[in-house]
Structure 1
Amino acid sequence: MKFVIDASGLNGLADDIEEFATQEARKIATDMYADLVMNTPVDTGALRNAWELDTNAANPSVSNTQPYANRVMEMGHSKQAPAGTLSSIIDKYTD
């Protein structure tokens, strides 16, 4: 007895899954970006304005170009953002 399985439809399914994953990654990056911007302390606005969102890449990313971003957002060098603010926001979207 011979069994034949037609798997021709799986290519389309794989494409659909990949597209769904890409869209979800973009949504998560966009939500994280908004959360980071809203929770960034403001003195001159340079730190808040330095957040960058890249959703065009294969792996969407959020970054900040200010060299002091980690000190302010993670190490508590601001009364407006307690220590651990950065990691708590990242954890919210990666756990």
Structure 2
Amino acid sequence: MHDFVVNVQTRVLSVVRSVLQQNAISADVQPESRLVDIGLNSIGMVELMLKVEAEFDLILPQLEITPANFQSVKAMERMILNQLGSGSE
């Protein structure tokens, strides 16, 4: 299970770095980094949400699309693990 969690975090970091690069934002992103503080705006957040859905082949429920769930890599990781966990039952 630990490898699965690490894999999810690695994939989320990769998606975040990709979106930052597309938005010409140069930053060292850590799991706890606040994405707004790094410079990601609302359009970047929408891009991020769409890329996360594509990366993990899921559609996020409307209730999960909140600023809190997209404030950091760690928050997104928790949200994705919850979604993947509920989808496999």
Which interval holds the TM-score relative to the shorter structure? 0.3 to 0.5
TM-score under structure 1 length normalisation: 0.42
Larger radius of gyration: 1
More helix by share: 2
TM-score under structure 2 length normalisation: 0.45
Name which structure has the greater RCO, CA cutoff 8 Å, separation 6+: 2
